[in-house]
Structure formats: structure tokens, C-alpha cells
């Protein structure tokens, strides 16, 4: 095998990764990574200096470093998260915003600073201070980013949901944290249609007695009915300097939420310093984000990639924000955006790349994509054919970074290396400073075999805890129960001979027919390579004292599941995996249930098939899809 892409020596030498490697005195990525986990204090100190963090380190880098959880990074350090993101005050673009084909807006760095200044004054006047919660029930608007920065500047804690969340889903989240102030929009666009946000916001407010004020952002031009208009909220305050009070390195910044498909979502609290340092590392080193770059990620405020994207300001990049359907304009609009705004980094999901391929779109022929240096993909494993598609149909000279981590760490465990080669189907590298290993059931580290993704040493972006978990019991149970003092992330994966990583799916969704553990992504790769299949979902069904593999397929419109297609699916799986991977049953469905952030929900389907209640339908984007999996007579047959 040869790499799909290798940067030229000149291009590699220009990357932030290469410059950091030189500062560290290391010659290869493997050497740099080994040093970053062996000498964690020296590594994270160098990240702080290299990225020019604004703040005070304090006397110690790490206290109780062997405890996991319990380690404290920069325990005497102080900083203001928002100050580090608002480094620029010039007239260059800070944010460019598109909402489908109707709305175009932009804010300069100076205008963003002025907006944050006014918002911070208004929030303080409304009684918001350190530790208070500010909640955003918002589309991906420029004002959403500004409100988060204003909240952070005051030491308040920001938490958000996207406006497509149902009322109960929002209450399940915000109801646990007691926000003092709520922001919503008048509405949003999706698929060319306008959706009102204020009616749902008013219902949410009825169940949030902690909220003292609701602020309505004008997006579609409708009058503010659910609360005070942003215009009126800001009117008494003129833009000025921001005081930038500094808070402890581990001062809470964000509350993010687990998917909530197995119960009420867990409220995961992230610290300001750890989030900032980790995102700076991932942007400047692993993604090669430079001052003046134009960074895009398709995301909503209900997904941690929004928080990750916002931190691009700390690397002095322009944020390219998009709100609406990614398939507006026949799937071409995002590439119109890339051309019009000289996009350097295109961030998306593996499912979007697969959908482009299925639709036969060839963006590299229909668009120039001259500035594009990197494509980033996450949300689910990017199959090898997805790698092929990107290099053939988008652009042959770019760094394709499949990345993986999660809400739990508001960052990545494994991700890109813009100074190194891209191998087909592999995530390029373990994250610097992240002692990522693959464990077997006994907790023994392995390479070249499939097992649990773990991290064996503490890192700065570990949660500072869960909300309303005073003794930390729920936090420890979530990540440290299986392997004491080791973070178990819940991904089923393998380390490759190149030092890369292949992820085969969530370990709690791993199939186990005859005692052989099979990652679901291994089956999806084969099934979704057939042109008739749009999407698939596979589960293990308890059957006669064992487990049998059941595959559900969503086909192209107008197609039905024939015996010939079933035979071809089974043959494809058998020939490219093993006989144990071959499903005992293959059934057609019209839709695949997924979370608000687009992840398919194998566990919820497994519960439905086994007659168990799904605990939190509000976590799903399309809960009605579960009905197709209920009481299927085919699953009662031999």
C-alpha cells in the first residue's frame, strides 16, 4: 500500500506541527508523541508558550498527575477564555454567516469585539456573574458565538441546544442546570422553509423558573414575543473595552450533554483552560489552522463541534458559519460557500461525504476549491471508500483528517497530522499529549488487534465533573469503572502498523455472535458500497441463547429489497469480512433513527427490537423512525 496523500517537504515544513516539532527538538511524529505523553508537563507548557496563551501559568503545571480522575492542570493558573479568542480588533472578517440561499452576513473582528462588549455589559446588568448559567436555544448565528464569548468573559457557564430540539429535550437539559438567562432566535431556515422558534421557547420557559430574562435574536425579522429583543437588551450599552477578569484554569466554561438515548442526558462540565489549551493544540498543530485561515465546520449548537469551531478565533482564523440544510442547493451550496469565501478547512460528517458520493456529485469539477487545504470528518467512522471519494472528487492535494473524540472531552483522542501521510481508511495519529492505547478485556495494551480505546494518563480537557454529581460517583462510573484509573471511551478500534487508528464503531454496540466481537462499521462499509443502499443499521438480536446479526437497510427511493439484493448483500459481506459478519436477517426500512447530531442509534433500535422502552425519545431527531423496528414478525421467525 501507498499513502493516498503525502505533503511535499516544503508544505510539511510550513505546518504548525513541523514548527512545534522543531521547538520540541524532535524529528518524527512518533518521537514527538512519545515525548508528549512521557513528559506531559513539559509538553503542555510548550503548547501554552507556542500558542501564546494570554494568562498566568502559576507555579505548578500538574498536581496529582497520577490520579484519573483527580489530576489538576495549572492549579494556580488564571486566564479569561474569551480574551484568548478575541485577540484581533481589526477590520478583517471574524465571522461570515450563510443561512441556505437567503441570508448572508459578516462581522469584522472589531465588530465582534464591540458586540461582545455590549452583550457582556447587558448580561452583567441582568445579574449574570461567575458561575451563573447562560443558555442558548439557538441556530448557528454570529450572535450565538458572541453571546458565548460575552458569557465566558464574565466567568459564567455557557450551555446550548439547537432550535430543532423539541421542548422536552431542551427541558431535560437546561432544567438540570438552572440557567439565569435564556437566548433564543425568532426562527430559522431549513430546507427552504421558515420555522418559528419562539413558541417552543415560551413553552420551555414555563418549565425553567430559574430564568430571569429571555432575549430574542432577530434572524428572520419576526417581532420578539418570547422575551426582550436583542436590540432592546443592548440599547443602553455602548461598545468599549472589556475588563477581562481572570479566573482559575479549571473554572467552568461549558456544560455539554451526552446524547441522552438511554435516559436523561448527563450534564458534562468542561473547564476554560483545558478546553482552550486542547483546542489550540488541535487547531494549530493537528489541523494546521493559521492566522487568516477560513475555518468551516457544518454543525449546530447541539453538537460539541460548534464549541470546537468557535475556538478557531484563538488561532486568529475567520469562522465560516452555516445554518440550515447541508443539502440546500442540491448539495452544492456548501461548496459555493467554500469558493466564495476562500475556505481553507472544510469540516463535515462521514455521512455527508457518503451522501455526496451516493448522489454522484463531483465538487472538484463543479467548483474551484482553490484555497482548500484540509477536509475534516467526524461523527462516525469514515470508510475507506470515503477517503477515495474525497481525493478523487473533491481535491487530490489536501490533508483528509478523520477525527474522533467526543462531547465527553470536547475534543479528540485521535486526529490528523498535516505534516504526515494519509493512509486509506485510517485516522492519521493519536493526539499529542493523549496516551491513547487499545485494551483487551483484561486491560492489556495491544496493537494490531481490535479492542477498547482508552487513555491511560490524565489530560487537560477531561471534564471537571458532571453537574449535580457532588461526590463524582456518576462521573467515575461513566469512564473509569471498567479499567480503574484509565479512561475508557467506548470506541471499538485498532492501532495500525502505520501508527494510525481504525474505529469500528461504539463498543457498546459491538455485535457478539458466537462470542466473536464485531464492530458495526465493518458491516456498514460493505453494505453501503452497494449503490442501492443509502444507509444501514445493524444490531445483535438475542436469539436461542446466542446473538444473531440483523441488518436494516434504507434503499434509494423507489427500490424494494429483493431476494437478489439480499443475496448480493450477504455475498459482499462474506467475501470482504468473515462468515460471522453475515446477517441472519436483512430487512428494509424507510428511515434510520439518529440523534440530533446525526449519529445513528443502534442501542435504541436494539431496545425496540427486544421490546424494551427507549428512555428518551427527545434525544432523537426522528423518533418516529423507531416504529418501523417494533414487532417485526420477521424477527420472530427462525
- Provide CATH 3.40.50.12780 ranges for the chain: 33-429+460-481
- Does 350 sit behind a cis peptide bond, omega within 30 degrees of 0 on the bond before it? no
**pTM, to two decimals:** 0.91
What is the average per-residue pLDDT within 103-128?
98
Beta strand extents in 224-354 (DSSP E only): 228-229, 247-248, 252-257, 267-271, 294-297, 318-323, 345-349
Rounded to whole angstroms, the Cα distance separating 162 from 302 reads 5
Confidence of residue 580 (pLDDT cuts 50, 70, 90): confident
What is the average per-residue pLDDT within 581-603?
92
Work out the percent of the chain whose per-residue pLDDT is above 90. 89
Cα distances (Å, whole numbers) of residue 422 to 6, 418, 426, 532: 6, 9, 7, 29
Q: What pLDDT, on the 0 to 100 scale, is given for residue 510?
A: 85
> Residue 516 has what DSSP assignment?
-
**φ, ψ for residue 550, nearest 5 deg:** -120, 125
pLDDT digits (tens, 9 = 90+) for 31-54: 999 999 999 999 999 999 999 999
| Cell of residue 204, nine digits | 420551555
Confidence of residue 638 (pLDDT cuts 50, 70, 90): low
Judge whether residue 118 has pLDDT over 90.
yes
Among 32-36, 76-80, 330-334, 594-598, the range scoring the smallest mean pLDDT is 594-598
Q: Which of 106, 9, 97, 23 is nearest to 284 (CA)?
A: 23
Q: Are 493 and 450 in contact (CB under 8 A)?
A: yes
For residue 159, the SS3 value is strand
| Cell of residue 449, nine digits | 488487534
Confidence of residue 514 (pLDDT cuts 50, 70, 90): confident
Cα distances (Å, whole numbers) of residue 57 to 51, 72, 619: 13, 13, 39
Work out the percent of the chain whose per-residue pLDDT is above 70. 99
Judge whether residue 58 has pLDDT over 80.
yes
Going by DSSP bridges, is the β-strand pair 294-297/78-79 parallel, antiparallel, or unpaired?
Answer: unpaired
Average pLDDT value over all residues in the chain: 95
- Crossing angle for the helix pair 109-125 and 142-153, nearest 10 degrees? 60
Q: Containing H/E element for 216?
A: strand 213-217
Q: What pLDDT, on the 0 to 100 scale, is given for residue 629?
A: 96
> Residue 281 has what DSSP assignment?
I
Q: What pLDDT, on the 0 to 100 scale, is given for residue 262?
A: 64
pLDDT digits (tens, 9 = 90+) for 422-437: 999 999 999 999 999 9
Q: What pLDDT, on the 0 to 100 scale, is given for residue 429?
A: 97
What is the average per-residue pLDDT within 385-401?
97
pLDDT digits (tens, 9 = 90+) for 293-344: 999 999 999 999 999 999 999 999 999 999 999 999 999 999 999 999 999 9
- Residue with cell string 508523541: 33
Q: Are 349 and 380 in contact (CB under 8 A)?
A: yes
Q: Is 557 exposed, middle or buried (0-12, 13-18, 19+ CB in 10 A)?
A: exposed
- Provide CATH 3.30.300.30 ranges for the chain: 510-636
Rounded to whole angstroms, the Cα distance separating 199 from 299 reads 23
Q: Which of 429, 437, 414, 373 is nearest to 28 (CA)?
A: 429
Among 44-53, 132-141, 207-216, 576-585, the range scoring the smallest mean pLDDT is 576-585
Q: Which of 152, 157, 151, 158 is nearest to 81 (CA)?
A: 152
Give alpha helix (H) positions in 133-224: 142-153, 167-177, 198-206
Rounded to whole angstroms, the Cα distance separating 527 from 535 reads 8
Sign of CA dihedral 418, 420, 423, 425: negative
Judge whether residue 595 has pLDDT over 90.
no
Q: What pLDDT, on the 0 to 100 scale, is given for residue 280?
A: 98
Q: Which fold has domain 510-636?
A: GMP Synthetase; Chain A, domain 3 (3.30.300)
Judge whether residue 261 has pLDDT over 70.
no
Rounded to whole angstroms, the Cα distance separating 315 from 317 reads 6
Q: Which fold has domain 33-429+460-481?
A: Rossmann fold (3.40.50)
Judge whether residue 263 has pLDDT over 80.
no
Q: Which of 268, 503, 260 is nearest to 405 (CA)?
A: 503
Q: Is 441 exposed, middle or buried (0-12, 13-18, 19+ CB in 10 A)?
A: exposed
Measure the N-to-C terminal CA separation of the chain; round to a whole number of Å: 43
Q: Containing H/E element for 93?
A: strand 93-99
Q: What pLDDT, on the 0 to 100 scale, is given for residue 94?
A: 98
Q: Are 563 and 527 in contact (CB under 8 A)?
A: no
For residue 414, the SS3 value is strand
Rounded to whole angstroms, the Cα distance separating 500 from 493 reads 11
pLDDT digits (tens, 9 = 90+) for 8-29: 999 999 999 999 999 999 999 9
For residue 539, the SS3 value is strand
Q: Are 404 and 414 in contact (CB under 8 A)?
A: yes
For the chain, what percentages of helix, strand and coil (3-state, to nearest 5) are there? 35, 25, 40
Among 170-179, 471-480, 518-527, the range scoring the smallest mean pLDDT is 518-527
Judge whether residue 463 has pLDDT over 70.
yes
Amino acid at each position: 500500500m501507498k499513502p493516498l496523500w503525502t505533503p511535499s517537504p516544503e508544505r510539511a515544513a510550513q505546518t504548525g506541527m513541523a514548527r512545534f516539532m522543531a521547538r520540541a527538538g524532535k524529528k518524527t511524529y512518533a518521537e514527538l508523541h512519545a515525548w508528549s505523553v512521557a513528559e506531559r508537563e513539559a509538553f503542555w507548557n510548550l503548547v501554552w508558550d507556542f500558542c501564546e496563551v494570554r494568562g498566568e501559568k502559576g507555579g505548578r503545571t500538574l498536581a496529582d498527575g497520577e490520579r484519573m480522575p483527580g489530576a489538576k492542570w495549572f492549579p494556580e493558573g488564571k486566564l479569561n477564555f474569551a480574551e484568548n479568542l478575541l485577540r484581533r480588533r481589526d477590520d478583517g472578517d471574524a465571522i461570515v454567516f450563510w443561512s441556505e440561499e437567503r441570508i448572508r452576513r459578516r462581522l469584522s473582528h472589531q465588530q465582534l469585539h464591540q458586540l461582545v462588549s455590549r452583550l457582556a455589559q447587558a448580561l452583567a446588568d441582568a445579574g449574570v456573574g461567575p458561575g451563573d448559567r447562560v443558555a442558548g436555544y439557538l441556530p448557528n448565528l454570529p450572535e450565538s458565538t458572541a453571546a458565548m464569548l460575552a458569557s465566558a468573559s464574565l466567568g459564567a457557564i455557557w450551555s446550548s441546544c439547537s432550535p430543532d430540539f423539541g421542548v422536552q429535550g431542551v427541558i431535560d437539559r437546561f432544567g438540570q442546570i438552572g440557567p439565569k438567562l435564556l437566548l433564543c432566535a425568532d426562527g430559522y431556515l431549513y430546507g427552504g422553509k421558515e420555522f418559528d422558534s419562539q413558541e417552543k421557547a415560551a413553552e420551555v420557559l414555563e418549565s425553567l423558573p430559574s430564568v430571569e430574562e429571555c432575549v430574542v435574536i432577530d434572524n428572520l425579522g419576526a417581532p420578539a414575543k418570547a422575551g426582550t429583543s436583542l436590540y432592546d437588551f443592548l440599547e443602553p450599552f455602548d461598545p468599549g473595552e472589556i475588563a477581562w477578569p481572570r479566573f482559575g484554569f479549571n473554572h467552568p466554561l461549558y456544560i455539554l450533554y451526552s446524547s441522552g438515548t438511554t435516559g436523561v442526558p448527563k450534564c458534562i462540565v468542561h473547564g476554560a483552560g483545558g478546553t482552550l489549551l486542547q483546542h489550540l493544540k488541535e487547531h494549530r498543530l493537528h489541523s494546521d489552522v493559521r492566522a487568516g485561515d477560513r475555518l468551516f465546520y457544518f454543525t449546530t449548537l447541539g453538537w460539541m463541534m460548534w464549541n470546537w469551531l468557535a475556538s478557531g478565533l484563538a488561532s486568529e482564523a475567520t469562522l465560516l458559519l452555516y445554518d440550515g440544510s447541508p443539502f440546500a442547493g442540491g448539495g452544492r451550496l456548501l461548496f459555493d460557500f467554500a469558493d466564495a469565501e476562500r475556505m481553507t478547512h472544510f469540516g463535515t460528517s462521514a455521512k455527508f461525504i457518503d451522501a455526496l458520493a451516493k448522489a454522484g456529485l463531483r465538487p472538484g469539477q463543479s467548483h474551484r476549491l482553490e484555497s482548500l487545504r484540509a477536509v475534516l470528518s467526524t461523527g462516525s467512522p469514515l470508510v475507506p471508500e470515503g477517503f477515495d471519494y474525497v481525493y478523487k472528487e473533491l481535491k487530490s492535494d489536501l490533508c483528509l483528517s478523520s477525527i474522533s473524540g467526543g462531547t465527553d472531552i470536547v475534543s479528540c483522542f485521535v486526529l490528523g497530522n498535516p505534516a504526515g501521510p494519509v493512509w486509506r481508511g485510517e485516522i492519521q495519529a493519536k493526539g499529542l499529549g493523549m496516551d491513547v492505547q487499545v485494551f483487551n478485556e483484561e486491560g492489556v495494551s495491544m496493537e494490531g488487534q481490535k479492542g477498547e480505546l482508552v487513555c491511560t494518563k490524565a489530560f487537560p480537557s477531561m471534564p471537571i465533573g458532571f453537574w449535580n454529581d457532588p461526590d463524582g460517583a456518576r462521573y467515575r462510573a461513566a469512564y473509569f469503572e471498567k479499567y480503574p484509573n484509565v479512561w475508557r471511551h467506548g470506541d471499538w478500534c485498532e492501532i495500525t502498523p502505520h501508527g494510525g487508528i481504525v474505529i469500528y464503531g461504539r463498543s457498546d454496540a459491538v455485535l457478539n455472535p458466537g462470542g466473536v466481537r464485531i464492530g458495526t462499521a465493518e458491516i456498514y462499509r460493505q453494505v453501503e458500497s452497494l449503490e442501492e443502499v443509502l444507509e444501514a443499521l445493524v444490531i445483535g438480536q438475542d436469539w436461542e441463547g446466542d446473538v444473531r446479526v440483523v441488518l436494516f437497510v434504507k434503499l434509494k427511493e423507489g427500490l424494494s429489497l429483493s431476494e437478489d439484493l439480499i443475496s448480493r448483500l450477504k455475498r459482499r459481506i462474506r467475501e470482504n469480512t468473515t462468515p460471522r459478519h453475515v446477517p441472519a436477517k436483512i430487512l428494509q426500512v424507510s428511515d434510520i433513527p439518529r440523534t440530533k447530531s446525526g449519529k445513528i442509534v443502534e442501542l435504541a433500535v436494539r431496545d425496540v427490537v427486544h421490546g424494551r422502552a427507549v428512555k428518551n425519545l427527545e434525544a432523537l431527531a426522528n423518533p418516529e423512525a423507531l416504529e418501523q423496528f417494533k414487532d417485526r414478525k420477521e424477527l420472530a421467525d427462525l
